[in-house]
């Protein structure tokens, strides 16, 4: 079961900016890990999915592309396969991108995270 979701933006001047986390107050990652994630996507500038493992944590990330520079990071335990969550993370990320204005997406995070949690079970039932 995923541990959390991070919405991060990169800005040339200020660097990494965490826009939201869910569950609030329970998601912890180091700046070093966030820089690893940034570097995964840095050279392509194209929207896309990537995954990495650091210590006992798997991450699956979606980068929105250089036009908006948003990163959506799903934190998984070491036993979970990041590939199982790629499709739903991309879908949820698009929902968030459509609701950036006035941070409307923040109120949506509990429901979006619930969709992520239920996704592998629902996918198997299809």
Domains along the sequence of the chain with CATH: 4-125 (3.30.450.50)
- pLDDT 10s per residue in the chain (126 long)? 899 999 999 888 888 999 999 998 888 899 999 999 998 888 777 899 999 999 899 999 999 998 899 999 999 999 999 999 999 999 999 999 999 999 999 999 999 999 999 986 656 544
Closest CA to 24 of 4, 2, 1, 44: 4
Whole-prediction pTM: 0.90
Residue burial 85-101, b: 16+ Cβ < 10 Å; e: rest: bbebbbebbeebbeeee
Quick one: which H or E segment has residue 120? helix 105-125
């Amino acid at each position: 079961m995923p541990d959390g979701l991070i919405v991060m933006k990169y800005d040339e001047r200020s660097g990494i900016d965490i826009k939201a986390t869910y569950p609030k107050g329970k998601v912890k990652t180091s700046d070093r890990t966030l820089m690893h994630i940034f570097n995964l996507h840095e050279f392509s500038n194209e929207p896309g999915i990537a995954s990495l493992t650091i210590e006992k944590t798997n991450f699956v990330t979606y980068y929105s592309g250089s036009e908006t520079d948003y990163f959506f990071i799903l934190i998984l335990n070491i036993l979970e396969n990041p590939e199982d969550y790629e499709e739903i993370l991309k879908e949820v990320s698009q929902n968030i991108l459509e609701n950036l204005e006035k941070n409307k997406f923040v109120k949506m995070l509990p429901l979006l995270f619930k969709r992520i949690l239920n996704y592998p079970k629902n996918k198997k039932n299809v």
